[in-house]
Structure 1
Amino acid sequence: MNKPTLHTVLSPRLLDLYNLENAIVVIIDVFRATSTIATALYNGAQFVYPVAGVQDCIEKGKALNAITAGERDGKVIEGLQYGNSPAEYPASFIKGKTLVLTTTNGTKLLHMALEQKAATVITGSFPNLSAVCNYLKAQNKNVILGCSGWKDLFNIEDTLFAGAVISRIKSQFTVHCDSSLMAENMYKLHQADRLQYIRQTTHWHRLQAYGLEKDLEYCVTEDGANIVPVYRPENEALHPETW
């Protein structure tokens, strides 16, 4: 039996080069959207609605009586209640509530994947690394690891997470993909000094300037929020699944 395929997309600008119709697309936005989504759902949020635009976020929040949150360029958006920090969503605050979220990169890529008719969309980051790997191994479907990057530019942290996934699951997939090979090699090279390596990245310096260093350290720490956020088209929201 042929193994399913695995590819890594290094930037949203490259997404349209891939066939998503029979694939699970993993949206990766380590700093910080997909880390925040996993954390909020792990801590008991009922749903997370990822929306592309600020006005959409405000309107859907009102319609659902939900918490509205988001950022542009790392800063909380005027008109929204909360930001894109995982630390803002402990169980004591988020349990039983609904979150509507818009971010610079991650929610944008998620909607791009939906527009290209992805069969299934989930989100991944280091806090839910093991759950994502378990899920992908169990599905036996083609996988696209989609890196959100920064405003369509390549970034290291998303690619590093893709490499972490590949290193764990590649034996069950056909991987003829240079970007996947590069991602895995990068991860293996820096696995032992990941936190030190990630401190050199552009995005780390950008967000550190806003006092977000604790956020960033959490976002590259494995398995603190081990659920899989799975997008369900029937209500346009991410739901938590345990794997």
Structure 2
Amino acid sequence: MSKPTLYTCFSPALLHLYDVKRTIVVVIDVLRATSTIATALYNGAREIIPVDSVERCIQLGTQIECITAGERDGQVAPGLQYGNSSFEYPESFIKGKILVLTTTNGTKLLHMALAKGATEIITGSFLNLSAVCDHLIAMKKNVILGCAAWKDKPNLEDTLFAGAVVSKIKEHFSINCDASHIAENLYGIAKDDMYEFLKKNDASHYHRLANYGLERDLRQCLTPDIANVLPEYLDGKLVLQR
């Protein structure tokens, strides 16, 4: 029996090059959307509604009882209540609540994958690395690791996460994809201290968040399996897969 395929897409701008139909798409936005999604659901959020604009987020906030949150360029977007830091969503605050979330890059990729006919969409971050890998192995379906990037430009942190996934599940897939090999090799170099790797290599998002004093967020977002749940996109919402 032939193995399913695995591809890595470094940017939403490249998604049109891949056959998204009949695939599981893993949306990766390590700094910080998919890390926040894993954290909020792990801490008991009822559901997360990802939207692609601040305006839509604000609109939903007037229609349903929810928390409106999101960022633009790493800062809380005007008109929203909260930002995109996982530290803002402890269990004592988020349990049982609906979170409406908009981000610069992650929600854009999610909606693109949906429009292109993905079989399933899940979100991945280092915080739920094992849950993602275990699910992809169990499903035995074609996979695209979709990096949200930064305004369509590839970034190091999403590529590192894709590489971590490839390194853990490659024996179960047919991988004829240079992007996946690039990601895996980069992860092999960085895995012992990814924070220092991003810092030493002048990662753009490292500087963006560090300039806002968010080093603690950076370290949190690079820590494996501390919110090890599987967020799945169903009927317009991200929920925990049962």
Question: For structure 1, which segment, 59-68 or 47-56, has the greater mean C-alpha deviation from structure 2 after superposition?
Answer: 59-68
* Cα distance in structure 2, aligned partners of 1:241 and 1:91: 19
CA distance in 2, matches of 1:193, 1:54: 35
TM-score norm. by structure 1 comes to 0.97
Quote the Cα distance in structure 2 between the aligned partners of 1:57 and 1:185.
38
Looking at structure 2, the residues matched to 46 and 208 of structure 1 have their Cα atoms a distance apart, in angstroms, of 31
Q: Aligned partners of 2:29, 2:184: CA distance in 1, in Å?
A: 17
1: CA distance between counterparts of 2:98 and 2:10? 31
| Corresponding residue number in structure 2 for 1:224 | 226
Query: Which aligned segments of 4 or more residues in structure 1 are displaced greater than 6 angstroms?
Result: none
Q: Deviations over 1:167-217 (max 9, x none)?
A: 000100000000000000110111112221022311010111111111111
Q: Which runs of 5+ in 1 are unaligned?
A: none
Aligned partner of 2:212 in structure 1 is 210
1:11-47 deviation line (CA, Å, top 9, x unaligned):
1100011111100000000000000000000000010
Q: What aligned pairs does 1:1-243 form with structure 2 within 5 A after superposition?
A: 1-199=1-199, 200-233=202-235, 236-241=236-241
Aligned to 1:192, the other structure's residue is in SS state: coil
Give the SS at the match of 2:143: strand
Kindly report the root-mean-square deviation, in angstroms, between the aligned alpha carbons of the 2 structures.
0.9
1:79-111 alpha-carbon deviations (Å, 9 max, x no partner): 111000100000000000010000001111111
Unaligned residue ranges in structure 2 (runs of 5+):
none
Q: TM-score, normalised on structure 2?
A: 0.97
Partner deviation per Cα, 1:52-93 (whole Å, 9 max, x = no partner):
011111112222211000000001011111000100000000
